[in-house]
Amino acid sequence: MKSKNSVVIFMLFCLVSFSTAALGASDYSYGVSEDELFIYEIKSYDEDLAEDAFVNPDIEDALGQGAEVGAMTATMITDIDDIDDYNNDATEDDPGWQIEGWYWNTEWTEDEEDFDDPDSSDIWEFTIKVPEDPEDYGAMLPGWEIFLVWSFIYTGVPDPADEYLDDIEWADIDVEDSTLVIEGDASTNPTINEDVTFEYEFKSNGQFHSRRILSEDDEVIYEVSLQSFLSSIPGYNPTLIGGLMVFSIMSLIYLNIIKKQEN
């Protein structure tokens, strides 16, 4: 009986530990790594689809100088500071984070070593505030919200990303899980010949993962995404993986204890 009770207690302990590791705290946290180089690569560019969709279909017109499949850009967050007054209204009741870092601001490159100790002329340094409460952004104005999207490309968003993005009061942007979706209307956008869909995807911890444009038939015209083996695995979730690791380690410890008792 004592052995059975021990098993039940151990399993409950494992479940509680797993839940804590997998779900974390109820409030938003900032989970994007500091001082880690994030490299983004042009994964694909369909010239035929671009010819139909874009007024200027050349890849360099669409993505910038030096763009070609396999070319890279990069970003790095160098400092993350907690702040108490996101709105600068002296109330100190609207906490958040002040994010400092840099973004590669010259032509695309095929050499990762270019990102090592980059020259100041090759990068754009930024300081951006991110509120803990997404409602502090207020109601987004049509057309202007794209600037917030681009700031998120540099800073990422708080964790869990899907909830944070969904709680922002967007004007013309839809949120699907942790992806921002913008419908491009050819009748109002002079750079496209046909309607397209812009997608900006974030990982579960808030790190910006990829951006892509889809044709009218939902075919990928181009995709730029984070250069990472694990991030390319569908459903990869670092928090969930951490929880599974905790559960596995505890299970091994328990089995070892049982073996010792049997001996």
- Specify the pLDDT at position 94: 87
- Specify the pLDDT at position 262: 62
pLDDT along the chain (263 residues), means of 10: 48 45 61 96 98 98 97 97 87 88 96 93 96 94 93 96 97 97 96 98 97 97 83 44 52 61 62
- Specify the pLDDT at position 47: 98
Could you tell me how far CA 72 lies from the centroid of its own chain? 17
3-class DSSP state of 161:
helix
pTM for the model stands at: 0.78
The long-range contacts involving 91-96, CB below 8 angstroms and separated by at least 24 positions, are: 94/131, 94/132, 94/133, 94/136, 95/131, 95/132, 95/133, 96/129, 96/130, 96/131, 96/132, 96/133, 96/136
